[in-house]
């Protein structure tokens, strides 16, 4: 693999990027994903030997600031280069520099934080479009990579652009957080030796964001790492929440309002409920904000199974959930905070919900563990209509081989025990589901737990399939 620093995971993305170096045509690649997710690291390390020019946008920088940043980067290639007067001038300088290269090998132009360069009245996007259409697209030796954390900008103004960049993107990469397998590999590479149960707890607090995971130090327990990063006065994750939203979204107060509304409801909210609880204006603002949050990976929407057609929006970013639950509003403390919270009723409720969310993100791992990955299926959630006790299935897998898996997800520090009362609740849930949906398929109660379930008579009555957290750590 290209580059000197080992790249964890990202196999599909690496294959795509490396193939762009071998194609006999110019490539325009758009890479997007939330801040700290590793976009810059991936491009720099994979393309290290091929980058001819790289520069980055400045958050909230003026046109003059952005041009100076370009100039400083360009002077490393051409010492006496003049300061460009505008972006048309800047791209003309870049085109001239490319044309004077003798090598016929693929050259990479890497533009980082592309949306920030498009400052007000800068005409950056039109200048870049002209550069691509009139020059770069005629060169079979060019790969132009544009990266952006503002996913909504990248999708609306680049990938789905109706103007000069319409249908010009040759490849698009949405870089997502690490799954549990990749998280384990990264920690292992950094000499952080933790059990999978401990890694799962770290993941619950900070998700699969590589930049956050890199901050965990060898020899630290989970409690020590969380105390240092989240509750210490200078803890990095103590102030990260506001920084993330301010840098991603122009009107971040709208995004903040929706995230806060979703954080208070375990099972998610419909669009109408989001509107009521966030107190945002109905119409385009709400639609745009929901789309931007989803494209940036903070929320997801789930289509109910054979019920209401209104999708449920759910906050799925682990760090945002953890911050709003535990960090915000607390006073800084040196040590012992997380150990005191661990095991309390509120902690157990939070851990159970977060584990459910992680399982839903790892549904492909669950299918692999059940040996049904080759069977076409539809995943969803179900809530009994008019049910007095609020019967709900958070995850079901409706398979083409005449089986439906009703998944029960339980986080526990020991093997989970199914007692008489819970066994009756499960039987009632299965009956409510089969009656309401009128399914003719076999319904298998499937347990996904940390350490499995305690073997007893009640367990054998209700469980058809069982997976432990090890299935979530599998390499796909």
Among the residue ranges 9-13, 30-34, 238-242, 248-252, the one predicted with the least confidence is 248-252
Q: Tens of pLDDT along 398-427?
A: 999 999 999 999 999 999 999 999 999 999
Domain locations in the chain? 11-174, 254-321, 365-473
Partners of residue 397 on adjacent β-strands: 379, 405
Domain range 365-473, CATH class? alpha beta
Q: In the chain, count of helices (H) and strands (E)?
A: 21, 12
Please give the radius of gyration of the chain, using alpha carbons only, rounded to the nearest integer.
25
Please compute the mean of the pLDDT values over residues 430-442 and round it to a whole number: 93
The answer, yes or no, to whether residue 387 has pLDDT greater than 80, is no
Q: What integer best gives the mean pLDDT of the chain?
A: 92
Q: Tens of pLDDT along 131-172?
A: 999 999 999 999 999 999 988 889 889 998 888 999 999 999
Q: Which of 155, 206, 175, 180 is nearest to 39 (CA)?
A: 175
pLDDT of amino acid 307:
62
DSSP secondary structure, 404-433, as one string: EEEEEEE--SS-B---HHHHHHHHHHHHHH
Please compute the mean of the pLDDT values over residues 169-190 and round it to a whole number: 96
Higher-scoring residue by pLDDT: 70, 245: 70
Name residues whose C-beta falls within 8 Å of residue 192's C-beta, 6 or more positions apart in sequence.
216, 217, 218, 220
Topology alike, domains 11-174 and 254-321: no
Q: Tens of pLDDT along 254-275?
A: 999 999 999 998 888 999 999 9
- Predicted model pTM: 0.92
Residue 423 structure tokens: 């066994």
Contact by Cβ (8 Å): 183, 149: no
pLDDT of amino acid 14:
96
Name residues whose C-beta falls within 8 Å of residue 194's C-beta, 6 or more positions apart in sequence.
187, 202, 222
Fold of 11-174: Rossmann fold (3.40.50)
Counting every residue, how long is the chain?
476
The answer, yes or no, to whether residue 2 has pLDDT greater than 60, is no
Residue 228 structure tokens: 């240092």
pLDDT > 90: what percent of the chain?
Answer: 77
Tell me which H or E stretch contains 27.
Answer: strand 27-32
Q: Which of 121, 182, 104, 118 is nearest to 148 (CA)?
A: 118
The answer, yes or no, to whether residue 388 has pLDDT greater than 60, is no
Say how far apart CA 433 and CA 435 lie, in whole Å: 5
Q: b/e for 150-179, b at 16 or more Cβ within 10 A?
A: bbbbbbbbbbebeebbeebbbbebbbebbb
Q: Which of 350, 412, 427, 17 is nearest to 197 (CA)?
A: 412
Fold of 254-321: Arc Repressor Mutant, subunit A (1.10.10)
């Amino acid at each position: 693999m290209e580059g000197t620093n080992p790249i964890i995971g990202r196999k599909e993305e690496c294959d795509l990027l490396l193939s762009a170096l071998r194609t006999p045509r110019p490539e325009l690649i758009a890479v997007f994903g939330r801040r700290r997710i590793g976009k810059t690291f991936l491009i720099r390390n994979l393309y290290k030997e091929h980058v001819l020019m790289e520069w980055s946008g400045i958050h909230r920088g003026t046109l003059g600031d952005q041009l100076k940043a370009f100039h400083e980067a360009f002077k490393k290639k051409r010492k006496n280069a003049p300061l460009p007067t505008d972006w048309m001038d800047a791209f003309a300088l870049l085109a001239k520099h490319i044309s004077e290269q003798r090598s016929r090998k693929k050259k990479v132009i890497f533009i980082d934080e592309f949306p920030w360069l498009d400052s007000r009245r800068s005409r950056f996007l039109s200048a870049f479009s002209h550069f691509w259409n009139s020059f770069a697209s005629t060169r079979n030796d060019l790969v132009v990579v544009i990266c952006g954390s503002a996913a909504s900008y990248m999708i609306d103004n680049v990938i789905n652009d109706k103007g000069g960049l319409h249908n010009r993107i040759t490849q698009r990469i949405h870089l997502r957080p690490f799954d549990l397998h990749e998280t384990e590999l990264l920690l292992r590479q950094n000499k952080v030796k933790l059990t999978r149960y401990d890694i799962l707890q770290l993941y619950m607090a900070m998700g699969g964001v590589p930049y956050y995971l890199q901050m965990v130090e060898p020899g630290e327990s989970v409690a020590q790492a969380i105390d240092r990063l989240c509750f210490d006065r200078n803890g990095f994750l103590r102030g990260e929440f506001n920084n993330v939203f301010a840098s991603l979204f122009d009107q971040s107060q709208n995004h903040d309002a929706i995230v806060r509304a979703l954080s208070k409801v375990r099972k998610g909210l419909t669009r109408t409920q989001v509107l009521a609880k966030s107190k945002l204006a109905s119409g385009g603002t709400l639609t745009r904000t929901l789309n931007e949050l989803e494209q940036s990976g903070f929320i997801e929407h789930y289509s109910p199974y054979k019920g209401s057609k209104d999708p449920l929006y759910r906050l799925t970013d682990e760090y945002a959930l953890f911050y709003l639950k535990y960090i915000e509003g607390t006073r800084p403390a040196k040590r012992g905070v997380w150990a005191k919270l661990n095991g309390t009723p509120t902690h157990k409720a939070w851990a159970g919900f977060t584990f459910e969310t992680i399982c839903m993100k790892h549904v492909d791992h669950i299918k692999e563990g059940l040996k049904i990955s080759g069977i076409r299926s539809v995943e969803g959630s179900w809530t009994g209509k008019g049910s007095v006790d609020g019967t709900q299935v958070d995850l079901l897998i409706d398979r083409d081989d005449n089986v439906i898996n009703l998944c029960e997800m339980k986080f526990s520090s020991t093997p989970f025990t199914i007692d008489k009362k819970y066994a009756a609740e499960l039987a009632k849930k299965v009956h409510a589901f089969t009656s309401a949906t009128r399914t003719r398929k076999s319904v298998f109660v499937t347990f996904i737990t940390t350490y499995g379930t305690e073997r007893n008579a009640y367990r054998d009555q209700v469980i058809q399939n069982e997976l432990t957290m090890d299935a979530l750590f599998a390499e796909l």
